[in-house]
């Protein structure tokens, strides 16, 4: 079944990713630091501009920083205002069916209207 | 009773405006900036007292007529909202997320004309004074006493 235990295939995937990520990192360092003339003399003339070796990480970090603020803002925008009916009910609660009451059985689960809940909480019966 | 404006916020706002004006004056060497700043402060205070700062909010429930909500501003202006009893379904204490907190607030549920069980609109009350739960419970109990009477004493239509 699906268990998180280590398997031989997973060990091979892990090692392949490990080698691949080291290769990618060394390649990135070569691209960023080795002077262009040396790369041209090796025949590698069509590599992207070195400008991008600095620009792409900066883009990534700015995106992460904006993402924090953006997520917070989206959350605040999608909170229902105090005067909307979404704070009280929603489509599922309006369309729920009333199950019949059976003796000595646990009552069925349902969304209790807010008036009833308020009476139970704040008006103690004597 | 006079308006209760906090000395802290008044002096903070005045100092901020006058500091900005002095900075502008130091940049532009135009003395009109300073008198304009004083003018703006006075006008801003008057607008705030008349349109923003609510001094008192009151709720009047008459069992056979309706509910009236009055807000009186610091300048003496009073604005009222009246909701007739036929439209009122119930007065409840609702909890909702506001900014980063969950607050309790009293609200009037208006009846949906088509659906007898449905709520068409929610009118929040006491939005400026924001009383706490123990105060809301007292108001809730008094409102429920009055609202129950309209069910047990049927009107002659």
Same domain for B66 and B118, yes or no, is yes
Residue B157 inside a domain? The answer is no
Q: Of B11, B29, B53, which residue sits at a domain end?
A: B53
Listed by number, the residues of chain B in 114-133 with a beta carbon closer than 8 Å to a beta carbon of chain A are: 117-124, 127
Can you spell out the DSSP letters for A54-70?
A: HHHHHHHHHHHHHHHHH
pLDDT band at A126 (very low <50, low <70, confident <90, very high): low
Predicted interface score ipTM higher than 0.90 = no
Same domain for B114 and B67, yes or no, is yes
**Contact A76/B at CB under 8 A:** yes
pLDDT band at A90 (very low <50, low <70, confident <90, very high): confident
Quick check: A87 and B140 CB within 8 A?
A: no
Smallest Cβ distance to A85: which of B99, B117, B122? B122
**Contact B92/A at CB under 8 A:** yes
For chain A, percent of residues with pLDDT exceeding 90: 60
Q: How many CB atoms lie within 10 A of CB A55?
A: 11
Encode pLDDT of B31-65 as tens digits: 888 888 889 889 988 998 888 888 889 999 998 89
Smallest Cβ distance to B94: which of A87, A113, A122? A87
Q: What's residue A70's pLDDT? A: 97
Q: Domain range holding B47? A: 3-53
Looking at the structure of chain B, the number of domains it has is 2
Same domain for B31 and B90, yes or no, is no
Same domain for B64 and B118, yes or no, is yes
Q: What's residue B154's pLDDT? A: 58
Same domain for B24 and B66, yes or no, is no
Has residue B2 got a pLDDT over 60? no
Tokens of B5: 């404006």
Q: How many CB atoms lie within 10 A of CB B73?
A: 19
**Pair B90, B109: CB distance under 8 Å:** yes
- With beta carbons under 8 A apart, name residues in chain A contacting B92: 114-115, 118
Encode pLDDT of A5-21 as tens digits: 888 999 999 999 999 99
- With beta carbons under 8 A apart, name residues in chain B contacting A79: 97-98
Same domain for B124 and B80, yes or no, is yes
Q: At what angle do helices B7-28 and B32-51 cross, to 10 degrees?
A: 150
Same domain for B42 and B70, yes or no, is no
Q: Where are the domains of chain A?
A: 8-46
* CA count, 13 A, side-chain hemisphere, A64: 5
Same domain for B85 and B130, yes or no, is yes
- Distance of residue A76 Cα from the nearest chain B Cα, in angstroms: 7
pLDDT band at A40 (very low <50, low <70, confident <90, very high): very high
**Pair B126, B107: CB distance under 8 Å:** no
Cα separation of B91 and A85, whole Å? 14
Cα separation of A60 and A102, whole Å? 60
Reported pTM: 0.74
Has residue B119 got a pLDDT over 80? yes
Same domain for B38 and B71, yes or no, is no
């Amino acid at each position: 079944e699906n268990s998180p235990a280590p398997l031989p295939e997973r060990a091979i995937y892990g090692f392949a990713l490990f080698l691949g990520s080291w290769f990618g990192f060394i390649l990135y360092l070569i691209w960023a630091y080795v002077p262009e003339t040396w790369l041209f003399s090796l025949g590698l003339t069509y590599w992207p501009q070195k400008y991008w070796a600095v620009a792409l990480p900066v883009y990534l970090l700015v995106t992460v920083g904006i993402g924090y603020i953006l997520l917070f803002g989206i959350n605040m925008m999608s909170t229902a205002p105090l005067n909307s009916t979404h704070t009280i009910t929603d489509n599922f609660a309006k369309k729920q069916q009333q199950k019949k009451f059976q003796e000595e059985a646990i009552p069925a689960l349902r969304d209790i209207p807010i008036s009833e809940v308020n009476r139970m909480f704040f008006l103690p019966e004597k | 009773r006079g308006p209760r404006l906090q000395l802290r916020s008044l002096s903070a706002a005045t100092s901020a405006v006058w500091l900005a004006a002095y900075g502008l004056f130091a940049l532009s060497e135009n003395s009109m900036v300073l008198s304009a700043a004083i003018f703006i402060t006075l006008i801003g205070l008057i607008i705030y007292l008349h349109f923003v700062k609510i001094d008192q909010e009151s709720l009047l429930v008459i069992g056979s007529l309706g509910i009236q909500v009055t807000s009186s501003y610091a300048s003496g202006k009073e604005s009222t909202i009246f909701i007739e009893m036929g439209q009122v379904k119930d007065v409840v204490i609702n909890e909702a997320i506001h900014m980063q907190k969950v607050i309790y607030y009293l609200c009037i549920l208006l009846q949906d004309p088509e659906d007898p069980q449905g709520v068409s609109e929610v009118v929040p009350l006491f939005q400026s004074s924001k009383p706490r739960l123990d105060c809301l419970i007292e108001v809730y109990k008094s409102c429920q006493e009055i609202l129950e009477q309209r069910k047990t004493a049927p009107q002659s239509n």
